Every structure is written in C-alpha cells, then in structure tokens.
Amino acid sequence: MNSSVACDIQLVASYRVRVFVLEEYLEKVLASVKMATNLKYGNYDGVSWCSHSGTERCTPRAGCDTYAGNIDEPYMTDSTLVEFSIVRDKKILDQVILSIFASHPWDEPVISIQETLETRKNGVI
C-alpha cells in the first residue's frame, strides 16, 4: 500500500454468495441479482467474480422439475461459478436468493452463503 495515500480501511460484515450457473444463463442471473442489490463494493457497482467453466454433475430424481437430463440417469454439464459480496443484511440476502431462484434454469440451484468480513476503504460501504 502506498503510504503517501491516506485511507481508512475498515472491516464490513458481509455475505459471500456463490452459485453455479450455466453459461447461457449467466447474464440473466446476474441481471436478476442486480435488481435485488446493486452489488456495491466500495466505490464500485456490479461487482462479481466468475470462474472458468467447470463440470456440474447430478442425477435427477423423481419429483424434480429437471431442466436437463433424465430421471434416475447421471447428468453433467459445463457451468460457471459466480461469486459476489453483499453487506450483511438479511432482507437483501432474501431478495438475492429469490432473484437467483427466479432466473436460474435449475429448480434447485446450488447457492452457498458464507458470513464473512471484507475490507472497504475511506468509509465507502
């Protein structure tokens, strides 16, 4: 860090949200999340991280509303890990989860939420 630049670094209680998404649904899911929150991180809006494609695997079972694959047969497809941070506000988190479910092709998207502390500088949360 440049010592000639004065900044106030603070730790902010946050949720780190991760979800696996098919590439063709990536922008749809992110747009839906952005309707729930602006994905603000300091002086930046729309902040998210997307991994390179990996392989998602499952076996659809009776009772699911499968987007792809056949009941009781193993299925695999390429998917992208999307990750973003929001301030620790349960109402915003609930809206984010609903937005993912509404825009994601799977009837049971894999969403992981971790409570964490993240840095912000100069009082901008």
* Range(s) of the domain holding residue 75: 17-119
Note whether residue 8 is domain-resident: no
**Tens-level pLDDT at each residue, the chain (125 residues):** 444 556 789 999 999 999 999 999 999 999 999 999 999 999 999 999 999 889 999 999 999 998 899 999 999 999 999 999 999 999 999 999 999 999 999 999 999 999 999 999 877 87
The amino acid at 69: G
CATH of the domain at 60: 3.30.70.120
Number of domain units in the chain = 1
Note whether residue 9 is domain-resident: no
